[in-house]
Amino acid sequence: MSAEQVVLVDDDGNRLGTEAKSTVHHADTPLHLGFSCYVVDSAGRVLLTTRAAGKTFPGVLTNSFCGHPAPDEPLEDAVRRRAADELGLTLTRVHLVLPDFRYRAEMNGIVENELCPVLVALTEDDPQPRSDEVAEIEWVRWTELRDDVLAGRRTVSPWFAEQLAVVGELPDDPLAWPEGDPSLLPAALTMTARSAEQD
């Protein structure tokens, strides 16, 4: 199996090339494509995960999952692939919320540096997390989570905290968050496969 590749981009999101995921994160991580996803269940709870010890930002509480679109992979396909691989989840609905989110963060000398669209997804499954990706999981109501983070009662990943500055102003039900404009995605990304758009 070939090494998983991430897409390197310029400030406008144009593709510059690729690099192996295993080597792309270091003290001077190049800007690349990623995504963040908030998974919600039918009871309206959001899935939180604590990152495994072997990942960047180990032991940090964060949103449901993050990932990297493969070269030429539509964003929705990447989100569904990652949900299945990391958490054993089938997603019944995926929608884009923040198409142009970007962040840079550093921990223990390792930098994350991403154009990182934010999405919300619905599942009916019970998570089956991979131990090399996820140390712990927790379902929590969004309003409780939002208020706890904003009040400093929970410490979360830097990207989650930055995203909250925007999504914290949105409706209390994450599934009611307004759809983001896919035309604002990084130039190297599409939301869905072009063939699907033509059906």
Active site residues: 66, 114
Secondary structure element (H or E) that encloses residue 134, with its range: strand 134-141
Residues 6 or more apart whose CB falls under 8 angstroms from that of 101 comprise: 36, 115, 116, 117, 118, 162, 163, 166
Nearest Cα to Cα of residue 97 among 142, 135, 150, 128? 142
In angstroms, the CA 120 to CA 147 distance is: 19
* Partners of residue 132 on adjacent β-strands: none
Residue 97: Cβ-neighbour burial (10 angstroms; 0-12, 13-18, 19+): buried
Q: Are 117 and 98 in contact (CB under 8 A)?
A: yes
**What is the spatial distance between Cα 60 and Cα 24, in angstroms, rounded to a whole number?**
20
